[in-house]
Amino acid sequence: MKAIVGLGNPGARYDATRHNVGWWLVDQLQRHWSASPFQQEDLWFRSTTELDGVGDIWLVKPTVYMNRSGIAVRALVESVDLDLSDLLVVVDDTALDSGQPRFRAKGSAGSHNGLQSVEDALGTQDYPRLRIGVGAVPPGIGQADWVLSEFDDPADEDAVLKLLPHLAEGVEVWAREGIEIAMNRYNISRSSESSED
């Protein structure tokens, strides 16, 4: 079994914000795989499907707020005894240009409160994640205000939306072939089109 968890904030007011691009990708995956409709459970919305050669896939959108994401992720991992290598956490990233993806096998949370919550709850940084660039925080604007706002430049939002079908394929590569293969194929700078670490 594999689980893809898109971090975000619940509620319609947050749907279109930068902080919710993890939910955007999970929604894209639900369409890509024609997975079951999302059903609300205790700490998340869940959609399921099955991939030949992989097994069951859970698509998860936690219903706790971003800075408490770890509560939901830990509950998910414990409920199905999930190996952390079979977990992929999807988040926004202000250190990447809008529409730039970055698969990682592990790593620090940086300034991302959702990843910090997951790290604290799991007691480790050793779990795969996919970061989706939402652009750098402009001078004079707080990070929280930036990620909790909608895209003000249509080109930036379009860059993310156009990336989602491509990343759906990337997530399937992760599910079938592992994080290292996904990193090698999909960690491409959209500005230079050259591989980056």
Catalytically annotated residues: 19
CA nearest to 54, candidates 2, 127, 128: 2
| Exposure string for 16-42, b = 16+ CB within 10 A, e = fewer | ebbbbbbbbbbbbbbebbebeebeeee
Q: Which of 17, 23, 105 is nearest to 62 (CA)?
A: 23
CA distance 197 to 195: 7
DSSP reduced 3-state for 50: strand
DSSP string, 82-106: --GGGEEEEEEETTS-TT-EEEESS
